[in-house]
């Protein structure tokens, strides 16, 4: 009999509830779950975009560095150094931009490698053995971090359909 009284109490309580309120509560809970997933997806997309932005700038820096090395290696005469001062300034400006983007990232081996490859102060330092390869390898690490997660493409496709 006690179970019957309990069941009668539960049904009595449910009968007294406003079904509109219950529906609204259900919709609110569902909306919360969907919004939370949407925010998580947006955060993942944002993180991916930041890695891509850094990769693009590092790749531009590498191309400029490679061009500088090809054009200026062995230029020890002062008059030739002056001729390539604009190239050096362009390279240094770009590397500073890469550093400013990289320094806001948390500690990460790819960032450490990039900084090691791009920390030099003189043209002589730029031509150190292995620096061009180190820079290239660092850019490839950035590329690996920037590769789009396929789920990002699905998220973008779904949001564009709505």
The total number of residues shown for the chain amounts to 162
- Which range, 3-12, 34-43, 133-142, is most confident? 133-142
Which helix (H) or strand (E) segment holds residue 157: the answer is helix 150-161
Q: Are 146 and 51 in contact (CB under 8 A)?
A: yes
Residue 109 within any structural domain of the chain: yes
pLDDT score at 80:
52
pLDDT for 139 equals: 96
pLDDT at 83: 73
Distances (CA, A) of 56 to 24, 60, 87, 91: 47, 6, 20, 15
Q: Is residue 35 part of a domain?
A: no
Which of the listed ranges 80-84, 95-99, 143-147 does the model predict with the highest average pLDDT? 95-99
Q: Is residue 116 part of a domain?
A: yes
**What is the sign, positive or negative, of the torsion defined by CA atoms of 111, 116, 122, 124?**
negative
H or E element, residue 98: helix 85-102
Q: Which domain holds residue 130?
A: 43-161
Average pLDDT of the segment spanning 33-50: 87
Residue 61: per-residue pLDDT: 96
Domain count, the chain: 1
Give domain status of residue 28, yes or no.
no
In a domain, 13, yes or no: no
In a domain, 51, yes or no: yes
Q: What residues contact 111, with CB distance under 8 A and at least 6 apart?
A: 102, 105
Residue 4 covered by a domain: no
Q: What is the mean pLDDT of the chain?
A: 83
Structure tokens at 68: 């500088």
Q: Could you tell me if residue 5 is inside a domain? A: no
User: pLDDT, tens digit, for every residue of 102-138?
Assistant: 999 889 999 999 999 999 988 888 889 899 999 999 9
């Amino acid at each position: 009999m006690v179970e019957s009284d309990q069941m009668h109490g539960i049904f009595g309580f449910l009968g007294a509830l406003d079904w509109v309120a219950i529906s609204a509560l259900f919709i609110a809970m569902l909306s919360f779950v969907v919004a939370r997933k949407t925010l998580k997806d947006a955060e993942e997309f944002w993180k991916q975009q930041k890695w891509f932005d850094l990769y693009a700038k590092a790749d531009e820096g590498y191309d400029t560095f490679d061009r500088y090395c090809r054009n200026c290696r062995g230029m020890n005469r002062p008059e030739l150094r002056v001729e390539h001062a604009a190239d050096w300034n362009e390279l240094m400006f770009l590397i500073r931009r890469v550093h400013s983007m990289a320094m806001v990232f948390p500690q990460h081996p790819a960032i450490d490698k990039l900084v090691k490859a791009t920390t030099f102060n003189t043209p002589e330092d730029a031509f150190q053995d292995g620096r061009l390869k180190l820079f290239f390898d660092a850019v490839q690490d950035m590329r690996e971090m920037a590769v789009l997660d396929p789920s990002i493409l699905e998220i973008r496709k779904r949001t564009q359909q709505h």
